[in-house]
C-alpha cells in the first residue's frame, strides 16, 4: 500500500475504535461485554463510506490480514488457558457433543434444501455447512465472563476444535466436487490425513524438545517469553494454514504447547500472559469483530427471507437439539445445554468460503449464495448477544460448576 492508503486505513480504524470505545461504555453499564461494541459499530458502518472503503482493495487486504492475526492471537491466548487435565476428563463427552451438535444440523440442512427443490448433492453440501462452529466469535465473550476454565468453556472450545477438522474435510470435499476430480477424491483425503499426522508429530516434537530448548536460550524476561510465544504461534499457525488444516487449530495448539513454559516461569509467565491478553483484547479482538461486522449481509436477509430463515433455523435448532441430547445422558445440565448450544451456533468463515466456491463455479445461483451468507451473518449478530445475555443470567452458577459429571437440573 502507498503512504496515502496506509494513512487512510489508520484513520478509518481510528474512527471505528473511537466509536467502539464510546459504545463500549454504554454496553458495560448494561452488563454486556464491551467487545460486542466493535461488532455493532461495524454492522452500522457497513453501508457508510467508512465501511465501503474498508471492504474495497487495497485497504481490505490489509484489514483482512489484521483480522486474521486477530484470530491467531485470540485463540492462542485461549490455548494458554485450556486445562488439559480437565479436557482429558471430558474428552469422551466432548466427542459425543461434537457428533450430536454436527449431525442434527446437517440432517435438518439437507431436509431444508430438499424441501426447497434442490438436488441431493447440493443438499448434502449445504447440509454440511450447518455443522461447523466459528469459535473465534464466541471465545472472547467466554474469556470476558471468566468461563474459559469452566465445564461450559471446555465443552465449547473442545467441540469447536473438533469442528475445525470437519471444516477441513468440508472445504476439501467442495473443492474436489468443483474441480470434478472424483477420481482424485481419495488422494485429497489422504493428503489431508497426512497433513494432520505431520502436524501432530510436529506438535509432539515441539512439546518434548523444541519449546523447552528455546525457552532456556534467552534470559528469563517478559519480552523474551512474548517473543518466543509469537515465534511458536506463527510457526504453528502458518504451518497449519499452509497444510490446509486451518490456522485456528495451529493457534490453539501453540497456546497449549506453551502453557507449561508459562506456568514454569512463575511471575514472568503471568506478566507475559497478561501482556498477550492486553494485545489480543485491546487491539486484535476489536479488529476481528470489525471484520465480522462488516461482513454481515443485512440486505441479503431481505432479498430471500424465507430461505435465509430456514437455513438459519436448520443450523440453530439443530445445534440446540444436538446439545440438549446430552441432558438425558446426564452429561450437561439444562442451563449448561442452553449456553453450550448457543455458543456452538456461531457460524461465519467456513460457510461463506464454501458458498463463494460454489458460486464462482456456477454450482449455485446468486439467490442461494445470498441466503447462505445472510444466514451466517445473522448468527454473527444473534449468537454473541444471546450468549452474553445467558451468561449474565447464569454466569455465577456456571463459574462455580465443578468438574464432576453434570447432574440433571
pLDDT tens per residue, range 273-323: 889 888 888 888 888 888 877 876 666 667 668 888 898 899 899 999 999
Q: What is the pLDDT of residue 155?
A: 86
Q: What is the pLDDT of residue 404?
A: 44
Q: What is the pLDDT of residue 374?
A: 79
Most confident listed range (109-113, 164-168, 273-277): 109-113
The yes-or-no verdict on residue 405 having pLDDT over 80 is no
Grid cell for residue 214: 528455546
What's the pLDDT tens digit per position in 25-54? Answer: 887 776 666 777 888 888 888 878 888 888
Q: What is the pLDDT of residue 301?
A: 64
Q: What is the pLDDT of residue 403?
A: 43
pTM tops 0.75, yes or no: no
The yes-or-no verdict on residue 235 having pLDDT over 90 is yes
Instruction: Give yes or no for a contact between 151 and 343, defined as CB atoms under 8 angstroms apart.
Output: no
Q: Which CATH number fits domain 3-399: 1.10.1740.10, 3.30.450.20, 1.20.1530.20, 1.10.10.10?
A: 1.20.1530.20
Query: Distance (Å, rounded) from C-alpha 100 to C-alpha 326?
Result: 8
Q: What average pLDDT does this structure show over 1-14?
A: 86
Instruction: Give yes or no for a contact between 270 and 241, defined as CB atoms under 8 angstroms apart.
Output: no
168 band by pLDDT with thresholds 50, 70 and 90: low
Q: What is the pLDDT of residue 130?
A: 84
The yes-or-no verdict on residue 57 having pLDDT over 50 is yes
The yes-or-no verdict on residue 191 having pLDDT over 90 is no
The yes-or-no verdict on residue 186 having pLDDT over 60 is no
Q: What is the pLDDT of residue 409?
A: 39
The domains of the chain are located at 3-399
107 band by pLDDT with thresholds 50, 70 and 90: very high
List of residues 6+ apart from 178 with CB closer than 8 A: 357, 358, 361, 363
Q: What average pLDDT does this structure show over 72-88?
A: 74
The chain-wide mean pLDDT, for the chain, equals 80
111 band by pLDDT with thresholds 50, 70 and 90: very high
Instruction: Give yes or no for a contact between 292 and 376, defined as CB atoms under 8 angstroms apart.
Output: no
Query: Distance (Å, rounded) from C-alpha 164 to C-alpha 387?
Result: 21
Instruction: Give yes or no for a contact between 343 and 323, defined as CB atoms under 8 angstroms apart.
Output: no
E strands, 149-214, are none
Closest alpha carbon to 302 in 47, 36, 109, 53: 47
Q: What is the pLDDT of residue 173?
A: 62
What's the pLDDT tens digit per position in 347-375? Answer: 766 666 667 667 766 777 777 877 887 78
The yes-or-no verdict on residue 179 having pLDDT over 90 is no
228 band by pLDDT with thresholds 50, 70 and 90: very high
- Over pLDDT 70: what percentage of the chain? 83
Q: What is the pLDDT of residue 177?
A: 60
181 band by pLDDT with thresholds 50, 70 and 90: very low
Instruction: Give yes or no for a contact between 249 and 164, defined as CB atoms under 8 angstroms apart.
Output: yes
Task: Kindly report which listed range (35-49, 77-91, 386-400) carries the lowest average pLDDT score.
Answer: 77-91
Element (H, E) at 355: helix 349-360
Q: What average pLDDT does this structure show over 59-72?
A: 86
Grid cell for residue 297: 449481509
Q: What average pLDDT does this structure show over 158-186?
A: 61
Query: Distance (Å, rounded) from C-alpha 144 to C-alpha 133?
Result: 19
Q: What average pLDDT does this structure show over 61-70?
A: 87
Amino acid at each position: 500500500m502507498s503512504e496515502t492508503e496506509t494513512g487512510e486505513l489508520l484513520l478509518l480504524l481510528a474512527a471505528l475504535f473511537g466509536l467502539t470505545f464510546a459504545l463500549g461504555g454504554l454496553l458495560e453499564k448494561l452488563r454486556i461485554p464491551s467487545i460486542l461494541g466493535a461488532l455493532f459499530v461495524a454492522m452500522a458502518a457497513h453501508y457508510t463510506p467508512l465501511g465501503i472503503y474498508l471492504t474495497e482493495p487495497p485497504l481490505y487486504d490489509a484489514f483482512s490480514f489484521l483480522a486474521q492475526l486477530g484470530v491467531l492471537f485470540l485463540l492462542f491466548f485461549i490455548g494458554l488457558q485450556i486445562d488439559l487435565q480437565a479436557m482429558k476428563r471430558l474428552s469422551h463427552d466432548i466427542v459425543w457433543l461434537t457428533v450430536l451438535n454436527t449431525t442434527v444440523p446437517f440432517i435438518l440442512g439437507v431436509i431444508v434444501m430438499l424441501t426447497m427443490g434442490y438436488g441431493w448433492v447440493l443438499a448434502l453440501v449445504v447440509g454440511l455447512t450447518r455443522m461447523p462452529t466459528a469459535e473465534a466469535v464466541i471465545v472472547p465473550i467466554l474469556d470476558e465472563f471468566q468461563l474459559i476454565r469452566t465445564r461450559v468453556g471446555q465443552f465449547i472450545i473442545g467441540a469447536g476444535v473438533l469442528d475445525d477438522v470437519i471444516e477441513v474435510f468440508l472445504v476439501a470435499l467442495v473443492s474436489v466436487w468443483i474441480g470434478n476430480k472424483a477420481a482424485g477424491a481419495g488422494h485429497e483425503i489422504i493428503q489431508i490425513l497426512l497433513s494432520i499426522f505431520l502436524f501432530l508429530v510436529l506438535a509432539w516434537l515441539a512439546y518434548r524438545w523444541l519449546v523447552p530448548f528455546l525457552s532456556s536460550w534467552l534470559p528469563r524476561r517478559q519480552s523474551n517469553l512474548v517473543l518466543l510465544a509469537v515465534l511458536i504461534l506463527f510457526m504453528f499457525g502458518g504451518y497449519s494454514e499452509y497444510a490446509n488444516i486451518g490456522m485456528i487449530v495451529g493457534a490453539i495448539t501453540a497456546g497449549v504447547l506453551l502453557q507449561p513454559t508459562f506456568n514454569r516461569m512463575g511471575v514472568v509467565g503471568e506478566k507475559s500472559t497478561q501482556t498477550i491478553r492486553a494485545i489480543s483484547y485491546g487491539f486484535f479482538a476489536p479488529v476481528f469483530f470489525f471484520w465480522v461486522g462488516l461482513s454481515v449481509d443485512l440486505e441479503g436477509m431481505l432479498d430471500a427471507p424465507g430461505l435465509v430463515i430456514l437455513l438459519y433455523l436448520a443450523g440453530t435448532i439443530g445445534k440446540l437439539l444436538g446439545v440438549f441430547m446430552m441432558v438425558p445422558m446426564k452429561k450437561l445440565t439444562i442451563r449448561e445445554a442452553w449456553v453450550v448450544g448457543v455458543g456452538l451456533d456461531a457460524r461465519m468463515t467456513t460457510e461463506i468460503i464454501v458458498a463463494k466456491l460454489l458460486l464462482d463455479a456456477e454450482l449455485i445461483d446468486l439467490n442461494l449464495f445470498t441466503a447462505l451468507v445472510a444466514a451466517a451473518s445473522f448468527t454473527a449478530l444473534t449468537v454473541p448477544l444471546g450468549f452474553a445475555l445467558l451468561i449474565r443470567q447464569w454466569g455465577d452458577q456456571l463459574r462455580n460448576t465443578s468438574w464432576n459429571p453434570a447432574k440433571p437440573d
